[in-house]
Amino acid sequence: MIPQLQTGRLLLRAWGGSDFEPYARFMADPDVTRYLSGEPMSRADAWRNMAMLAGHWSLRGYGMWAVERKSDRALLGRVGLHFPEGWPGLEVGWTLGKEHWGQGFATEAARAAMDYGFLTQNVERLLSVIDVDNLASQAVARRLGETRGEQREIAQGGKTFQVDVWSISRDEWAHRT
């Protein structure tokens, strides 16, 4: 049910049980979770979060993939389409383990997810919900061709975060490719 996508260096694939240890390690890192939940995740919370990512596919027909580096099969993080209750629209999102930052993996995987989103979903716009202080994710959004739009508050996990809603229209995407 979950399609695989490939890029030059990456495989975007379904989640498996063996992904839990590296995923829990990523999500326990305060630098990784600073702009997601504001604090590191416990192992139990990381498990529930990974299960939610897998279940999103059943509920919505799309979701976040586990991102694997082809050269050594290492799990790098999660990238894909996300639309939880209360979200402003269908999002292209990304979260990688800190050791994988700064190598272009987020942009490469998010571009594949964006292409998949526009090719399979009847939407006029895809967006990325990015914390106002998350400069690295803002740079990824720019490389994807997204532009910053409205600022709003998003409630998640009992906390409220100030975010910018970045987006790209179907027409902008079509002219980018």
* Annotated domain spans of the chain: 5-124
Confidence band of 40 (pLDDT split at 50, 70, 90)? very high
pLDDT value for 1: 83
Distance of CA 30 to the CA centre of its chain: 17
**Cut 0.85: pTM above it:** yes
Mean pLDDT of 88-95: 96
Tokens of 58: 């059943």
Q: What is the pLDDT of residue 17?
A: 94
34 alpha carbon, distance to own chain's centre: 15
Residue 23 CA, chain-centre distance (Å), reads 13
For 54-68, the pLDDT digits (tens) are 999 999 999 999 999
Helix (H) or strand (E) holding 171: helix 170-176
* Residue 165: both structure tokens together: 């809603």
Q: What topology is assigned to 5-124 in CATH?
A: Aminopeptidase (3.40.630)
Radius of gyration (Cα) for the chain, nearest Å? 15
The pLDDT score that the predictor gives to residue 25 is: 97
